[in-house]
Amino acid sequence: MSDRSIALIDVNNFYVSCERVFNPKLEDKPVVVLSNNDGCAVARSNEVKALGIRMGQPWFQLKDLAKKHGIVAYSSNYALYADMSNRVMSILATFSPHYEVYSIDECFLDLTGFRKRSLTLYGQHIRQQIKQQTGLPVCVGIGSTKTLAKLANHIAKKNPEFNGVCDLSAMSLRQQDEWFNKTAVGEVWGIGRRLAPRLHEIGIHTVLDLRIASPSRMHSYFSIVMEKIIREINGTPCIELEEMSPPRKQIVSSRSFGIPVSDLASLEQSISLYIGRAAEKLRRQRSYAGAVYVTIRTSPFNGKEPYYTNSLTIPLATQTENTVLLTKIALWGLRKIYRCGYKYQKAGVMLSELVPANHRQSDLFSRISADNKSDNLMNVIDQINIRMGRSTLKLASEGFRQPWKMKQGNRSPGYTTKWDELIFVTK
């Protein structure tokens, strides 16, 4: 067994918990958070899960059930969730010098060398600090590998006797086997619903079954990934902590419209908006794009209207991160694929062929002074938008009214992200 200690901290039902922090009346009530355009349930409180509502179930199918059981539905409030996530990760960074932000609601901490104190008590301290400073409930799983930490987190979440913290490293092998024998193999990180049926076919139903399987034989049946999973469950680290997230190889920005769009002007506004968002992310990771992809489509589910979809990739002579230039190129591509007479439901863009800023290759006719001027302009725009709020400065081609934007009829206020939506306490 390794002497390494890894903790996974996971915010319980993150989207729902964020809504409950600012509206305590929602505690113990059935709550769902909906996807773009209020289409499907993407987050469900435990009370909603108990009603048999599935993840991704369309909201229009649930309206009668919602009235009967008093289900409260919220539109996704992405800005609020991102801000709350950043607050949680900032707090977690104070508990270990080495950590990996794995997702919006999960973070790995390296606690190797912390064993002079009880890691269970340390985990409880983490929970208390997160709860006190953000109001969010978290569970902590601790193990000698990342896979064991994920398993420990699952056990802590499903079994109240752990009080939100499970340290598998503090258990004997016999105690671990008892818990692993109670845990379905599909709960293992990297297995899930896709591989679980194939494992069932060869007699592997629980985590314990997988633990005692031969890594080399399972490699031949499946892949090297399966071998690493088994070795991790047995305490051999195979998946390292990534303290720096690798740069994205592609950046995608797309949305479904709140209402069908037929005119080119509205499509141009949406493409301009999406390019602006994608270019912000491009500059944030200090990259340049070498190609722009544009796509539009009508609804594939509306049998009463003709279906049309098209896309175009435009390679760039010189990589760039300039929003103005990327927008001009994307709009040129849009005009090439646009066809009049269709009701478009969705549009999107993708920046690809990304290269780090220090590896950018200019063409023979590029001027260093012009490039520096472009970089400085983009930096000023980004800094103003960071300080004053997104879209304080934007291209006029994005439009202002934007009636086509996605529906968010039930969005909660931006409690932590908009000055005019802060909570006021009155006597």
Across the range 113-142, mean pLDDT stands at: 93
Of residues 370, 174, 340, the one with CA closest to residue 265: 340
At 243, the pLDDT band (50, 70, 90 cuts) reads low
Beta strands 138-143; 165-167: pairing state: parallel
288, β-bridge pairs? 355
40, β-bridge pairs? 58
Residue 413 has what DSSP assignment? P
Reported as a single tens digit per residue, the pLDDT across 34-74 is: 987 788 899 999 999 999 999 988 888 888 898 999 999 99
The whole-number pLDDT of residue 43 equals: 93
Mean pLDDT score of the chain: 89
At 245, the pLDDT band (50, 70, 90 cuts) reads low
Reported as a single tens digit per residue, the pLDDT across 296-355 is: 999 888 888 899 999 999 999 889 999 999 999 999 999 999 999 999 999 999 999 999
Residue listed under structure tokens 């993150």: 14
The model's pTM: 0.78
R_g (Cα) of the chain, nearest Å: 25
Selected residue with higher pLDDT from 206 and 412: 206
- Is residue 246's pLDDT more than 80? no
CA-CA distances (angstroms) from residue 422 to 174, 416, 419? 52, 7, 6
Reported as a single tens digit per residue, the pLDDT across 201-232 is: 999 999 999 999 999 999 998 989 999 999 99
What is the spatial distance between Cα 203 and Cα 374, in angstroms, rounded to a whole number? 61
- Is residue 360's pLDDT more than 80? no
Q: Write out the DSSP string of 247-305.
A: PPS-EEEEEEEEEEE-SHHHHHHHHHHHHHHHHHHHHHTTEEEEEEEEEEEE-TT-TTS
- Is residue 421's pLDDT more than 90? no
**Exposure pattern of 164-180 as b/e (b: 16+ CB <10 Å)?**
bbbbbbeeeeeebbebb
Q: Quick one: tokens of 168? A: 């598998």
Q: Write out the DSSP string of 135-188.
A: ---EEEEEESSHHHHHHHHHHHHH-GGGTTEEEGGGS-HHHHHHHHHHSBGGGS
At 363, the pLDDT band (50, 70, 90 cuts) reads low
What is the spatial distance between Cα 162 and Cα 159, in angstroms, rounded to a whole number? 6
The number of beta carbons lying within 10 Å of the beta carbon of residue 418 is 12
What is the spatial distance between Cα 286 and Cα 302, in angstroms, rounded to a whole number? 41
The whole-number pLDDT of residue 364 equals: 61
- Is residue 2's pLDDT more than 60? no
Selected residue with higher pLDDT from 249 and 359: 249
The whole-number pLDDT of residue 427 equals: 64
What is the spatial distance between Cα 112 and Cα 348, in angstroms, rounded to a whole number? 44
What is the spatial distance between Cα 308 and Cα 306, in angstroms, rounded to a whole number? 7
For the chain, give the percent of residues with pLDDT over 70: 95
